[in-house]
Amino acid sequence: MSIPVKKGVDLSLLHPRFVKRLEAFFNDPRIKGRVRVTSGCRTYAKQKYYYDGYKARKAGFNLAANPDRRFGPKGLNGQGIWRGAWHMEQEDGYCYAVDFGLCGSGIKTWEVQNIAKSYGIHPTVASEWWHHQPRQSADWFDAPALVNGGIKEETKEPVMDWVALAKYFEELTAEIQTNPIRRKERSERVKVMQRRLGALGIDCGTPDGIFGWKTWRKVRQFQRINRLPRDGVVGAGTWAEMWGDEPLS
């Protein structure tokens, strides 16, 4: 991937179509070497950190969305289908925002914005020139530079197969009854668990599917908060607690 980033920036959950746009944007000779991404995907915990700092008017904290807000069109549960900030992982598993920073001379922020727009990446927050998104609510922004440049975009939306998803989750829950998730495991279900912990405000970092010491400590933290045996093993009890309706106390 040829997207320049500031150290520590995570792009792993950006929608693939967004990644393609960013790659084309950063390949533009007017942009190359002058701009980089300073903030990408954020976990719930990170967004909460930014939001709390902003609310407390701490120095160095910018406007940040409440990670618990719901917005956009309403889903089946009557809540908005989007959550928190566009920097956060959404229900479809993807993030839809990046912040840009200048890292070279010879370009103005408004020029960056105009060039980005031609790649379908728009500044959407009036007070923050750096914040950019490829879409808002249901619609993706047009990307004339990609069309004219002959780069074919995959325009199909990822379709969520809720039935398959429910079945997968059911199978996973059954499997965990007899085969708990333990440290050292590397698997898709570890990734599911890491994402879930992140959504509950316990930040395991980028979900990588590796149950290492960091994840183990987070599992124990979750068990402590919920008064479960602190063995760092995710068996039936811990798993059920992770997916129950009870909020963290």
Footprint of Zn ion on this chain (CB under 5 A)? 99, 131
Query: By three-state DSSP, how is residue 15 classified?
Result: coil
Residue closer to Zn ion (CB basis): 83 or 189: 83
- Min. distance of Cβ 208 from Zn ion in angstroms? 24
- Min. distance of Cβ 191 from Zn ion in angstroms? 25
- CA 148, distance to chain mean position in Å, is 30
Question: Phi/psi of residue 12, each to 5°?
Answer: -65, -25
Residue closer to Zn ion (CB basis): 131 or 195: 131
Residue closer to Zn ion (CB basis): 88 or 181: 88
Residue closer to Zn ion (CB basis): 10 or 99: 99
| Cβ count near 216 (within 10 Å) | 18
How many degrees, rounded to 5, is the angle at CA 35 between CA 143 and CA 44? 80
| Residue 13: closest CA among 208, 248, 239 | 208
| Cβ count near 240 (within 10 Å) | 13
| Cβ count near 84 (within 10 Å) | 22
- Min. distance of Cβ 65 from Zn ion in angstroms? 9
- Min. distance of Cβ 128 from Zn ion in angstroms? 6
- Min. distance of Cβ 206 from Zn ion in angstroms? 18
Query: By three-state DSSP, how is residue 90 classified?
Result: coil
Q: Which amino acid is at 216?
A: W
For Zn ion, which residue has the nearest CB?
131
Total count of residues recorded for the chain:
249
Residue closer to Zn ion (CB basis): 99 or 203: 99
- Min. distance of Cβ 98 from Zn ion in angstroms? 7
CA end-to-end span of the chain: 41
Residue closer to Zn ion (CB basis): 113 or 221: 113
